[in-house]
Amino acid sequence: MKKVIIVEDYCIACYNCEVACVASHSRSEDPIKAYKREGLRGRTNAVVEVASPLAFSSMCRHCKHPWCMDACISGAIQRLDNGIVYLDEERCVGCWGCVVGCPYGAAHPNLDGERKHAFKCDLCIKRLDAGLNPACVEACPNKALLYDETIEVREEVRT
Amino acid sequence: MSKSDYVIVGSNVAAVGAIDGIRRHDKKSSILTISYESLGSYSKAMLADYIKGSNSQWLEYRGKDYFKKMGVDCLFGRRVTAIKADKSVLTTDNGEEVSYKKLLLGVGGVPFKPAIKGAEGKELVFTFTDLFDAEKIREALPRFDSAVVIGAGFTGTEIAYTLNKLNKKVTVVELGDRVLVKALDPKSSEIAESLMKGEGIEFYLNDTVEEIAGSSEITGVSLKSGKFVPCQAVITAIGVIPNGALIKDTQIKFDRGLDVDDYMCTSVPNVYGAGDVVKATDITDGQKRSLPLWPLAFQQGLVAGINMAGVKYPYAGGLPMNSLKFLKVPILSAGITTPPDASYETISVSDPKGTFYRSLILKEGRLKGFVTIGEVDGAGVLTGLIRSKADISGIKTRLLNKKKIGLMQMPREWRNRIFTRRDETDYHD
Ligand SMILES: Cc1cc2nc3c(=O)[nH]c(=O)nc-3n(C[C@H](O)[C@H](O)[C@H](O)COP(=O)(O)OP(=O)(O)OC[C@H]3O[C@@H](n4cnc5c(N)ncnc54)[C@H](O)[C@@H]3O)c2cc1C
Ligand code: SF4
Ligand code: SF4
């Protein structure tokens, strides 16, 4: 399956992926409104980690065997037929099972707000359906994020 | 007599895991799941929500159409009363017989009930392990204003917190010297206790309930220490033990838990077990014990299902993972949280306000467990480090320094493999 491939050598910590992620998961689809009015600050599924000069943006790996799903007590997390590991925020009860279960730290707790719930990357499922790339990939000016088959699959093709 | 290729007793998370596992490799054979509960698969871990008033559909773990979608026949509201393992036949409570080729026992646990004087014949004495219990407590809510909860483990503290939120006066009595002893270390226990005290819950530690006083109506409980706590209801929540009721009179080996091998198979070749009923391998020390935890029940079910479908696939062992889901300050832990002997190294950090705490338990440079309070984002990275058994001596202090844990702290090679290549979480079945 195609995933977001992270090329840490190319990341320049510009945070464009975070902004694009928040905007595309907001109601307004407008970054300023999303941050300022919809309270989506700190609600980005792609997170840029920086320890200068090293930087990279990391997000859910859509594992074939998702540990987050095993841990999910509400059934909010399910692996869809297309391989996307989807977290239904409405179903989520904020037990943080996925947070302690995900080995990549890609399921995040939303502790503020009216309702506690977890959130994670959905690979921009709506954009994919429309034939677009995930928003973070599209926004990266440096090709530090690619939407492609994993190297594993690419190697299998070669051999 | 009805027949099914696979029969699953139980329909909760272990059963769902097994159905997922079977259907990965066998799309055709018939599967039948039997449960005495009417809801099919539901989340016991969400029972507190039900007591607080949510409707029962909210507890459904997989959508209504899950069983149908997976091509599974359901017999809900029916209890299995006997197993004839030599004939591969089950009997249900209406006297019908069901034969199977492969059987999975996902019958869960039953509440451990200590013998307490005066418990018999009183209406407002409850346990808290299934929907029937939750229903009884919910219906009784208007009839009591104060309750004593016996046990300060996960379910005990959860029901205490829930009742407290419903404006009941709650006192927790715990035999041990601290709360949540299985999941937390002494310092984090103290933090959890003070957070709950801050909400108005009272605790009596190093103590136990000797007698429930009153005739049909409870007047209070007398404790071993001699104290008397007035109350109108009592909830025992000391934990669950593997449900052996069905297995006792069979040749299937059961000794304080269903014995299963690495393939989740019991001592009888075509009978498998998963979830709270089994004794499973604990990854942290390789010992077999009852580990009644949601994620492990799912994984064991999955592995059992894969094996039942004929693909040999070993269970890697379970890693205890806990999250205290009801408090405002999140508390997460995994693996060994209290070092059993001096060969373990503990490093920790906390802030004076007591709202941030993290402790890591290591042995020979490898992470064995952790507790983290307050800052929990990225905590799963630590869980991953326990599973991978990687030497982290070089990075251990970094895992304490940063408030948010991230992949940044990991060795580059390890990280890049995840970013670009192998999906290491995969069950390669
Ligand atoms: C209040 C509460 C809160 C919890 N919170 C958490 C949490 O936050 N995190 C966590 O990891 N774990 C939690 N747990 C534990 C978790 O719910 C269990 O580990 C999990 O439910 C085990 O799943 P299981 O499928 O093995 O068994 P169960 O969920 O116990 O299901 C047993 C099934 O067997 C059926 N059954 C039993 N006997 C028969 C019979 N004779 N005939 C027919 N059917 C039968 C039952 O109807 C049921 O379908 C909690 C448990 C409780 C009670
Ligand atoms: S949240 Fe974590 S465990 Fe779940 S699919 Fe994504 S990377 Fe895998
Ligand atoms: S926090 Fe939500 S999504 Fe995560 S495991 Fe709990 S219920 Fe599932």
For B51-107, what is each residue's pLDDT tens digit?
999 999 999 999 879 999 999 999 999 999 999 999 999 999 999 999 999 999 999
| Pairwise pLDDT comparison (B342 vs A31), residue with the higher score | B342
At residue B238, the pLDDT reads 95
B425 to A98: CB separation less than 8 angstroms, yes or no:
no
Return the pLDDT at B353: 79
Residues B138-160 pLDDT 10s: 999 999 999 999 999 999 999 99
- Cα first-last separation, chain A: 18
Does pLDDT of A38 surpass 90? no
Contacts of A78 in chain B (CB under 8 A): 62
Position B242 scores a pLDDT of 97
Query: Residue B309 to residues A79, B23, B31, B103, B339: CA-CA distances in angstroms?
Result: 21, 8, 11, 11, 40
Q: How far apart are alpha carbons A137 and A133 in whole angstroms?
A: 7
Q: Of B114, B110, B162, which Cα lies nearest the Cα of B138?
A: B162
Interchain proximity B421–A152, CB inside 8 Å? yes
Amino acid at B345: E
Tokens of B229: 């706590």
Q: Is the pLDDT of residue A158 over 80?
A: no
What is the rounded average pLDDT of the residues A42-66?
90
Spatial separation of the C-alpha atoms in residues B395 and B386, rounded to whole Å: 14
How much is the ipTM here? 0.94
Atom of ligand 1 nearest to the CA of B13: 25
Question: Which residue did the predictor score with more confidence, B49 or B394?
Answer: B49
CA B123 – CA B126 distance, rounded (Å):
8
| Arithmetic mean of pLDDT, B9-13 | 97
Residues B122, B128, B129, CA angle at the centre, nearest 5°? 130
Q: Are A38 and A59 in contact (CB under 8 A)?
A: no
Name the percent of chain A in helix, strand, coil, to the closest 5.
Answer: 30, 20, 50
The yes-or-no verdict on residue A113 having pLDDT over 80 is: no
Q: Kindly state the average pLDDT of the residues B161-173.
A: 98
**Structure confidence at residue A159 as a pLDDT band (50, 70, 90):** very low
Burial tier of B78 (Cβ tally within 10 Å: 0-12, 13-18, 19+): middle
Residues B365 and B351: their CA atoms lie apart, in Å, by 25
With contacts defined as CB-CB under 8 Å, which chain A residues touch B302?
Answer: 70
Instruction: Answer whether residue B302 shows pLDDT above 70.
Output: yes
* 3-state secondary structure at position B223: strand
Dmax (CA) for chain B in angstroms is 68
Q: How many CA atoms lie within 13 A of B341 on its CB side?
A: 3
Element (H, E) at B80: strand B80-84
Q: For B195-205, how does the pLDDT look when each residue is reduced to its tens digit (9 = 90+)?
A: 999 999 999 99
CA quadruple A65, A66, A71, A76: dihedral positive or negative? Answer: negative
Strands B2-9 and B97-105: parallel
For residue B15, give the ligand 1 atom closest to its CA.
Answer: 25
Element (H, E) at B158: helix B154-165
Query: CB–CB of B130/B121 below 8 Å?
Result: no
Helix (H, G, I), strand (E, B) or coil at A56: strand
Overall average pLDDT of the B129-143 stretch: 97
Estimate to the nearest angstrom the gap between the alpha carbon of B113 and the chain centroid.
Answer: 17
Confidence of residue B344 (pLDDT cuts 50, 70, 90): very high
SS3 A87: strand
Q: Which residue do the tokens 């307490």 mark?
A: B116
- Which of B425, B426, B427, B428 best tests the A interface by mutation, with the highest count of A CBs <10 A? B425
* Mean pLDDT across chain B: 94
Classify strands A108-110 and B72-76 as parallel, antiparallel or unpaired.
unpaired
Supply the pLDDT for residue A157: 43
Write out the two tokens for A130: 């429309």
Query: Which residue's alpha carbon is at the smallest distance from atom 6 of ligand 2?
Result: A60
pLDDT tens track for B349-368: 998 877 899 999 999 999 99
How far apart (Å, rounded) are the C-alpha atoms in residues B200 and B383? 33
Q: Sort B226 into a burial class: Cβ within 10 Å, 0-12 / 13-18 / 19+.
A: exposed
pLDDT of residue B412: 83
Mean pLDDT of A47-66: 90
Predicted pLDDT at B402: 64
Q: Within a 10 A sphere around the Cβ of B170, how many other Cβ atoms? A: 26
Residue nearest to atom 4 of ligand 1 (CA): B45
In one-letter notation, the amino acid at residue B89 is V
Structure tokens at B310: 């004929």
Model confidence band, residue A151 (pLDDT cutoffs 50, 70, 90): low
Q: What is the distance in A from the centroid of ligand 1 to the CA of B154?
A: 14
How far does Cα B22 stand from its chain's mean position?
A: 23
Residue B203 distance to chain A (closest CA, Å): 24
Chain A interface residues facing chain B, Cβ-Cβ under 8 Å?
5-8, 47, 49-51, 54, 56, 58, 61, 63-68, 70-71, 73-75, 78, 93-109, 111, 150-152
According to the model, what pLDDT value does residue A117 have?
95
pLDDT band at B424 (very low <50, low <70, confident <90, very high): low
Q: Are the beta carbons of A103 and B383 separated by less than 8 Å?
A: yes
Mean pLDDT value of segment B171-196: 96
